[in-house]
Amino acid sequence: MDCRVVVEAAVPVYDVETTDEAVRIAISKTGEMLNPDLNYVEINMGERACPNCGETHDPAFIAADESLVALELEMTVFNVERDEHAARIARKEIGQRLENIPLEVIEIEELEEEGGDGDDEDVSDEVDSTAEDDHAGSPDDPDDTGSPGSGDRPESGDDEVLPEFEELIDE
């Protein structure tokens, strides 16, 4: 199963005057820490809500020209067993790059598989295995040498690329 995991991060930002400035700097700072290794993580402004009244506030809290910004980091985790497994993977991957920044998993959403129900996948597997069986024993195929693994090689004329490359080197 594949899951979309949203993790909340509390990013400290220094020497700021407005919440907009703090959010921009926090997003930039977080992007620098995550890239290029985790360039697939989406960075969004977080939401802060009052625990008593439920009213929403800016994602940044400023005191003495220092700010703590709430950001939501979203990533998709593939081939996991359970939601908890997806949460651990996301926290580990993101946490390794964001040192000394507290993280909390706030949402885990199971993604629907592209095939819909499992019946379509079984049909496509049968079609693929039938096509492979037909190709493996085809006497009309001039490229089929009958050796094991001969179907693993790409048939896009890679043998022609290497001699042309050698000719360029000789010139």
pLDDT at 129 over 80: no
Q: Which CATH architecture has domain 2-111?
A: 2-Layer Sandwich (3.30)
Give the alpha-carbon dihedral of 36, 97, 7, 29, to 10 degrees.
-70
Condensed to tens digits (0 to 9), the pLDDT of residues 61-120 reads 899 999 999 999 999 999 988 899 999 999 999 999 998 899 999 999 988 876 555 444
CB count within 10 Å of CB 165 equals 9
pLDDT at 19 over 80: yes
pLDDT value for 3: 92
pLDDT value for 74: 95
pLDDT value for 93: 93
